[in-house]
Amino acid sequence: MIKFHTAKEAVPGSHSLPLLAGDLLILLTSVEVPAHSHEDHLTLEASVKWGRPSGRDIGQLDLFLCRDEHPPVLLAELDANCFVVTETPLEYEGPCHTEGSVFYSLRARSYDERALILGPVRLSATVEG
């Protein structure tokens, strides 16, 4: 049974998109999930439409799903490549955090600026129990 669901989406032409990803880790979007029972199950689903910048032969993008603490806790990561434009999904499934609300974030970087984030950028969180 679904106990909680939330989603955020940044569409092309808004939220500073398109955005050139560089060497520094950037926050693309985040969602807040209230505390739930330790028996509940959390699913995070993300996707990013992106492409290689002009003048590059191949695009490269690192995506990260994190639980935002100090420092952020890495939950899932993916290194993706593309030749023109692609939409890359990333997912995490695991136990819910039981103490207070938690923010989960989708972050990205691209060494040598080899990724242009076009959008849409999506992140959703679902709690089932």
Provide the token pair at 10.
């940044």
- The count of domains in the chain is 1
Q: What is the reported pLDDT for 98?
A: 74
Given this model, what pLDDT does residue 13 score? 82
- Show the low-confidence residues of the chain (pLDDT under 70): none
Q: Which string of DSSP letters, residue by residue, matches 20-38?
A: EE-SS-EEEEEEEE----T
CATH number for the domain spanning 12: value is 2.60.120.1340
Task: Please report the pLDDT score of residue 102 as a whole number.
Answer: 92
For residue 110 the two structure tokens come to: 């691209």
Integer Cα distance of 68 and 20 in angstroms: 23
Per DSSP bridges, beta strands 59-67 and 19-21 are unpaired
Query: Looking up tokens 């993300």, which residue turns up?
Result: 46
**Model pTM score:** 0.94
Which residue range(s) make up the domain with 26? Answer: 2-128
